[in-house]
Amino acid sequence: MPNSTREVDVCIVGGGPAGMVLGLLLAQQGMKTLVLERHRNFDREFRGEVLMPRFVQMFRQIGLFDFLEKYPHLKLNNLEIIFKNWHLAKFQIAKIAPEAPFALWMPQPILLGALYDKGKTLPNFDLWFNASAQDLIEENGTVTGVQVELNGKMVEVRSRITVGTDGRASMVRRAGGFETESESHNFDVMWFAIPRPEGYEQTVRAFLSTGINYLILPKYPDLLQCGLIVPKGEMIRFKEKGIESLRKALFKAYAILHPFAAELKDFSHFNVLQARMSFVKRWAKNGCLLVGDSAHTCSPAGAIGVSVAVGSAIVAADVIRKALKANDVSAEFLDQVQRIRGMEVREIQKMQKEVTDGLIFAPRAYKWLVPFLFYLFAKTPLLRQFQRKLLVMKEPLPIDQSLQSLHF
């Protein structure tokens, strides 16, 4: 039996970017909101730390960008595609997205800390750290709350609407019996960081080869975030062969990685991100809604996963506000989030698959042709159109004016 009970309008399971943004918007609109975060704080390793122009557009739309920009970050200005020593293409983000002419590198501990700072100013916002959601509470076919282990004690949180923003391994999705419509996973990214050389440009670089492809991005404050793009499970195979096999792979890569390779002694420097794309068939049940990665995961292609999740959270804030006002928490009402966001999410996932299939995992017999074909493609306006479609919002999110004129 739980030791105590807490009653709120909305309980949000998961304190990532989507959960925190959703909590802020709801609390600002007067709804009593509780966010549950299973970790003790935000100080841990993340990988979704690049915020592309569509994220900047969204935060401007809800009135939070000027606040967020005051926190430590880097502005990334260019994107480059390189094959050996040949620059296949170089793009200025300002030309792709003049309305939001940069990407941000903001470590998620800083991003989430900033959102929490704002939340502390709102009387209807609350966040529990070290709060692990264990199960959903369901009565008469409607989810009415969550069983939570808080600092080792069981607490019952009763809520009119429960939202799962708890990511790819969502407890809410599992406990609620939500069905996955599609899922794919054919590669991983092995992330690691190295010191940033003096004078290194604020540029995102993708390196193509006939072997391993990889990424290098500036990382706040003075590092480079590097990622090896490998077939799924490759980290396990490297470990089976020993660290020397990975060292050799790095020595075949860009020279900036060679000092790191020379000093490499074990696998502790690497974090593996499974490039898993998925789409839940229906995001809502009575009294319950999935938002962000709980409902739809993106691959790392384009570095837009956080932006897509936050976009769904902003739309969900509008729908939840209306649901509570109408006293209608049915799946049919909450389905509006998926009706608004589902088509764009599918389109983004389709584009990401085209990128990975065409650039990264082309058939081995044709892999040597890929850089030349991409070079020719980059000379046409089609690539710019593709980039803009992936990185930039075509139009503002369709939310009520009250959410676009918040005074945070």
**Sheet of 50-51: strands edge to edge?**
50-51, 103-105, 74-76
Q: Is 57 in a helix, a strand, or coil?
A: helix
For residue 378, what is the domain's CATH number? 3.50.50.60
Nearest residue to 163 (alpha-carbon basis) of 152, 171, 155, 151: 171
Report whether 293 contacts 167 (CB < 8 A).
yes
Residue 1 has pLDDT above 60, yes or no: no
Residue 387 has pLDDT above 70, yes or no: yes
Spatial distance between the Cα atoms of 150 and 137, rounded to a whole number of angstroms = 16
Nearest residue to 280 (alpha-carbon basis) of 334, 323, 320, 317: 334
What pLDDT does 407 receive?
A: 59
Residue 45 has pLDDT above 80, yes or no: no
Please indicate, yes or no, if residue 207 is contained in any of the structural domains: no
Please indicate, yes or no, if residue 408 is contained in any of the structural domains: no
pLDDT one-digit tens code per residue, 221-266: 899 999 999 989 999 999 999 999 999 999 988 889 999 999 999 9
Please indicate, yes or no, if residue 220 is contained in any of the structural domains: no
Please indicate, yes or no, if residue 250 is contained in any of the structural domains: no
Please indicate, yes or no, if residue 191 is contained in any of the structural domains: no
Region 22-46: what's the mean pLDDT?
92
What pLDDT does 405 receive?
A: 60
Runs of H (alpha helix) within 151-295: 171-175, 234-241, 243-251, 258-263
pLDDT one-digit tens code per residue, 339-378: 999 999 999 999 998 888 776 666 665 667 777 888 888 8
**Half-sphere exposure for 274 (CA within 13 Å, toward CB):** 14
Residue 92 has pLDDT above 90, yes or no: yes
Kindly state the helix (H) or strand (E) to which residue 39 belongs, with its residue range. none
Pairing verdict, β 4-13 and 153-164? parallel
Please indicate, yes or no, if residue 261 is contained in any of the structural domains: no
For the ranges 38-52, 159-173, 180-194, the one whose mean pLDDT is highest? 159-173
Region 317-324: what's the mean pLDDT?
98
Confidence band of 216 (pLDDT split at 50, 70, 90): very high
Predicted TM-score (pTM) of this structure: 0.93
Number of domains in the chain: 1
Please indicate, yes or no, if residue 195 is contained in any of the structural domains: no
Please indicate, yes or no, if residue 235 is contained in any of the structural domains: no
Residue 53 has pLDDT above 70, yes or no: yes
Please enumerate, as own/partner, the contacts of 403-407 that have beta carbons within 8 Å and a separation of 24 or more. Answer: 403/25, 403/29, 403/62, 403/314, 403/317, 403/318, 403/321, 404/61, 404/62, 404/63, 405/63, 406/25, 406/28, 406/62, 406/63, 406/64, 407/63
For residue 169, what are the domain limits?
A: 4-182+276-395
